[in-house]
Amino acid sequence: MSRCDPDIETVVVESWNQLQEELFADSWNAKIGRFRSHHAFRGLSDASYPLATTLMRLGGRYADLERHLVRNFRKYAHGSVVEQDSLWNWVSVAQHYGLPTRLLDWTNSPYVALHFATANVTRFDRDGVVWVVDYTEVHNQLPKPLSAALDREGASIFTGEMLAREISTFEQMAEFCEEPFTVFFEPPSIDPRIYQQYAFFSVVSDNRVAVDTWLAQHPGAGRKIVIPAHLKWEVRDKVDLANINERTLFPGLEGLCSWLHRYYSPSPTLLEEDPSLSPPVSGDS
């Protein structure tokens, strides 16, 4: 079943097979005769969640606080963490370690996105979603100097180094164009999580504009694949069978324990058959 809501094209899938078709739609590249996706994917456990950055979720006068957050992070962070002294490397590291930034995490892997859409079993009573954004279409809306930079490299997405050659500050980014624009770029591989998750970032030139707001103003650049709540357990189990889980995406003991905790949690079917297996509502650990 598919529909177009007032803002974003939305498809509600009814089966695992339909989900696969939607995730890999338009991935055929006739120029090279191979399947090569030009899409960014982002999975969320609740389809109603907006594409809000951690900076937006900070609340208050977050737009004005950004410069102070970044300035003080650069002041106090250890210099050895950042290989090159550029804005994009600094904010990539800051985002990775939890600082509120205007960056938004994406992945090249639809299965990694499925993991994040189904990782939180406490949200299995509500629909999940995978956002799919065509970053080549997004970059067609770039100011000419930035699109020319991509053309010179023969690239469809920026690296942090490429972006640093064109933009050195957020203020300079905003001066390129009065209308907000969105850029996708690959961060440096500062941690195994970056390449394990096939991760990269989006950034909007105006930190007050969410990516979903921008997409709603540019039809054809992005869409939503909604995973109904009743389908989530099947999707979760099949993604686990594909070895996409916390253990592989978050290398280390923390990821291992998160995976084991979720993997051995009882399913709703089992709990319906034997309510005594339900965990206590509260109590000391």
Express each pLDDT in 13-63 by its tens digit.
999 999 999 999 988 787 888 888 899 999 999 999 999 999 999 999 999
> Does residue 285 have a pLDDT over 80?
no
Mean of pLDDT values over 142-161: 94
Percent with pLDDT over 90 in the chain: 65
Spell out the domain ranges in the chain. 2-245
Cα–Cα distances in angstroms (integers) from residue 4 to residues 1, 177, 188, in the given order: 11, 29, 37
User: Count of alpha carbons within 13 Å of 285, Cβ hemisphere only?
Assistant: 0
Rounded mean pLDDT, 234-256: 88
Across the chain, mean pLDDT equals 87
pLDDT at 43: 97
Sign, CA dihedral 257-258-260-264, equals positive
The pLDDT score that the predictor gives to residue 271 is 54
pLDDT at 4: 42
d(CA 135, CA 281): 44
Least confident residue range of 126-140, 151-165, 191-205, 221-235:
191-205
Interatomic CA distance for residues 156 and 31, integer angstroms: 14
Alpha helices in 1-142 (DSSP H): 16-23, 54-58, 62-76, 87-96, 110-118, 135-139
What is the mean predicted confidence (pLDDT) over 267-273?
60
Does the pTM surpass 0.75? The reply is yes
